[in-house]
Amino acid sequence: MKFLRQTLAVAAKDLRSEIRGKEAVNASVSFALVILLLFSFAFDLEPEQIRDIAGGLLWLIFAFAGTLILNRSFARELVNDCLDTLLASPVSGAQLFFGKCLANYVLIIIVECISLPVFAIFYNVRLPQRLALLFLVMLLGTWGITVIGTLFSAMTVNLRLRELMLPTLIYPMLIPALVGAIELSRVLINGGPLAENMIWFRILVAFNVIFTILALALVEIVLVG
Amino acid sequence: MRLKIIVTLTAIAGLILAWDLGRIFLQVPDEANQGAIFRIIYFHVPAAITSFTGFYLAMFSSIGYLITKDLRLDSAAASINEVSLAFASITLCTGSIWGRIIWGIWWTWDPRLTSFFVCWLIYVGYFMLRRAVDDPTARARLSAVLSIFACVDIVLVWKSIEWFRTQHPGPVLEIRGGGGMAPGMEAPLWWNFLALLMLATALTLIRTRQQAMKLEIDALRRHVHAF
Amino acid sequence: MSPQNYTFMFYGFTVAWLIVIGYVISIALREKRLREELDRVKRMVEEGQQTRK
């Protein structure tokens, strides 16, 4: 119970700070819109073809825009030695990490919820009636991105080329989650049979479970030593 | 003593490789479908297995570091990963050349090449991380965690890309593994694997010693500048 | 046994060996550099101890 309370305290702190400043979410949403624009130049496709690649485009946008938020996650604590203070506090490394995960998760979901309708409008993609399932896929996929991204944000926080290292390190690692999310989104947007694609649900869930446990186990080593 | 081990290993590895090369070129007949190019499998597959073995050995070495805090284990892990990355590069290049012959294209996103490329990228990231951290203890700690994550992830990457690619069968067939080989043709593969493993061990030992030297230099430097 | 196949097989083996040899050479160069550095720093330590005596 105490674990949860302190975790939620950390999460609330981050969310409050972000809601007051709105820097990361604004930057992230703007970046997502820019990518949507760039994709429109890169791909000039028929509507049916767009529906085919919609899953992939969507998750590329989510992954790129999410990285901006993840980068700031631990970087914002460097000012005024806040990170050292947090580490010295009674909050354990795992609680700090999990709280930041939750806060990042909420923020990235917000960015995704804004980007999804914009994507549908720009590319004339009719969102499926199974919107609830699509939202479930977003929730599962985003948790994978958040867990890996937050841990690597902790790892790279003290490095010189932090903004460069984080994407380079996490994107190869995220491939199972991204592939799973992309496939499921593609099937849902195209109205295909979901029953045949349950393997991707299993991969997403397995990815999330394995890496959440691994991250919680190792984050203390990353943060403190 | 150590130098003797290194030289012996290299010598034996060289002998086996030379003898195998002779066998591969002179005795093994051409494969029915692929012609002469298939002989590259005698380097491609052993290099792949060696590099994977290395990556997982390095993970155990990293875990050992996290438990014992002995920096030598971290040096060993980094050296093993470096040698494995070199062998992974060989795998990718030889695989690409093989593909050029068999499929007419230098690259294709088939499951094994793609997964291997992802693995390669992850370990390039590993070395970027090591370069970016100056403090040896922090570097050891962070790369140990990265190594553990990478090895767990590689399994998932492999499986997910395999399922992804078989759902979208491309215009090319997947590389047939060594399963369809006649018994006479398979032997040089395993001998080559042994030779490459010995070569990898020798290179790892050299690199580990170099890492230890580097640590000694850093320590002496601190000693000098302290007075 | 088309000649084209043989050419590419030759390329393949060459590439593999080039990578191995390149890597070994880079290791050897690093060894040389590290030894020089180590000698230099050891000399610095000795000089430091000399001047303090």
Mean pLDDT of A170-189: 92
- Residue C18 pLDDT greater than 70, yes or no: yes
- Sort residue A102 into left (φ over 0), alpha (ψ -120 to 50) or beta: alpha
Q: Which of C9, C35, C45 sits opposite B36 (nearest CB)?
A: C9
Give residue B34's pLDDT.
Answer: 55
Residue C31 touches chain B, beta carbons under 8 Å:
yes
DSSP letters spanning B33-92: TTBGGGGGHHHHHHHHHHHHHHHHHHHHHHHHHHHH--HHHHHHHHHHHHHHHHHHHHHH
Chains that touch A (3 or more CB pairs under 8 A): B
How far apart CA B74 and CA B64 sit, in angstroms, is 8
Touch of B by A (3+ CB pairs closer than 8 Å): yes
Chain CA centroid to CA B112, Å: 15
- Give the chain B residue whose CA is nearest to the CA of A183: B164
- Residue A79 pLDDT greater than 90, yes or no: no
Neighbours of B91 (CB within 10 A): 28
- Identify whether B158 is part of a domain: yes
> Per the CB < 8 Å rule, is B167 touching A211?
no
In this structure, of A23-27, A214-218, B173-177, B216-220, the range with the lowest mean pLDDT score is: B173-177
What burial class does residue C42 get, using C-beta atoms within 10 Å of its C-beta: 0-12 exposed, 13-18 middle, 19+ buried?
middle
How far apart CA A60 and CA A58 sit, in angstroms, is 6
Give residue B20's pLDDT.
Answer: 76
When scoring C7, C18, C34 by the number of chain B Cβ atoms within 10 A, the one with the most, hence best to mutate, is C34
- Under the banding of pLDDT at 50, 70 and 90, the label for residue C28 is confident
> Per the CB < 8 Å rule, is A203 touching B160?
yes
Give residue B29's pLDDT.
Answer: 62
- Residue C44 pLDDT greater than 80, yes or no: yes
CA angle B79, B82, B87 (to 5 degrees): 125
> In degrees rounded to 5, what are phi and psi of residue B35?
75, -150
Residue B194 touches chain A, beta carbons under 8 Å:
no
Q: Are B63 and B144 in contact (CB under 8 A)?
A: yes
Q: Tell me the pLDDT tens digit for each residue of A57-71.
A: 999 999 999 999 998
- Residue A72 pLDDT greater than 70, yes or no: yes
- Identify whether B182 is part of a domain: no
Q: B35 has which bridge partners?
A: B31
Residue A155 touches chain B, beta carbons under 8 Å:
yes
**pLDDT 10s per residue in chain B (227 long)?**
677 778 887 888 888 777 777 777 766 665 555 566 667 777 888 888 899 999 999 999 999 999 999 988 999 999 999 999 999 998 888 888 877 777 777 787 777 788 889 999 999 999 999 999 888 899 999 999 999 999 999 988 888 887 777 665 544 444 444 445 555 667 777 888 888 888 888 888 888 888 888 888 888 888 877 76
Give residue B182's pLDDT.
Answer: 57
Q: Are B87 and B155 in contact (CB under 8 A)?
A: no
- Identify whether B191 is part of a domain: no
Residue B92 touches chain C, beta carbons under 8 Å:
no
CA nearest neighbour of C27 among B206, B136, A81: B206
> In degrees rounded to 5, what are phi and psi of residue B31?
-75, 150
Tell me the domain boundaries of chain A. Answer: 2-223
Q: Tell me the pLDDT tens digit for each residue of A118-136.
A: 998 888 887 777 888 899 9
Chain CA centroid to CA A213, Å: 17
Residue C29 touches chain B, beta carbons under 8 Å:
no
Give residue A41's pLDDT.
Answer: 83
Residue C25 touches chain B, beta carbons under 8 Å:
no
Residue C33 touches chain B, beta carbons under 8 Å:
no
- Under the banding of pLDDT at 50, 70 and 90, the label for residue A161 is confident
> Per the CB < 8 Å rule, is B93 touching C27?
no
Size of interface B-C (CB pairs under 8 A): 82
> Per the CB < 8 Å rule, is B125 touching A161?
no
Give residue A128's pLDDT.
Answer: 72
Q: Which of C12, C19, C42 sits opposite B89 (nearest CB)?
A: C19
- Identify whether B3 is part of a domain: no
CA nearest neighbour of B155 among C1, A176, C4: A176
- Identify whether B78 is part of a domain: yes
Q: Are B91 and B44 in contact (CB under 8 A)?
A: yes
Exposure on the CB side of residue A88, measured as CA atoms within 13 A:
5
Residues of chain B contacting residue C5, judged by C-beta atoms under 8 Å apart: 34-37, 101
Mean pLDDT of A80-101: 89
What burial class does residue C3 get, using C-beta atoms within 10 Å of its C-beta: 0-12 exposed, 13-18 middle, 19+ buried?
exposed
The CA-atom distances, in angstroms, between B42 and each of B28, B77, B86, B140 are: 11, 27, 17, 35
Give residue B198's pLDDT.
Answer: 86
Residue B217 touches chain C, beta carbons under 8 Å:
yes
Residues of chain A contacting residue B133, judged by C-beta atoms under 8 Å apart: 158-159
Q: Are A153 and A75 in contact (CB under 8 A)?
A: yes
> Per the CB < 8 Å rule, is B223 touching C45?
yes
- Classify the complex by whether its ipTM is higher than 0.90, answering yes or no: no
- Residue A99 pLDDT greater than 90, yes or no: yes
Count up the domains in chain B and report the number. Answer: 1
- Under the banding of pLDDT at 50, 70 and 90, the label for residue A155 is very high
In this structure, of A25-34, A60-69, A116-125, A137-146, the range with the lowest mean pLDDT score is: A116-125
Q: Bigger pLDDT: B33 or A46?
A: A46
Residues of chain C contacting residue B94, judged by C-beta atoms under 8 Å apart: 12, 15-16
Size of interface A-B (CB pairs under 8 A): 80
When scoring B81, B87, B204, B220 by the number of chain C Cβ atoms within 10 A, the one with the most, hence best to mutate, is B220
Q: Are A25 and A58 in contact (CB under 8 A)?
A: no
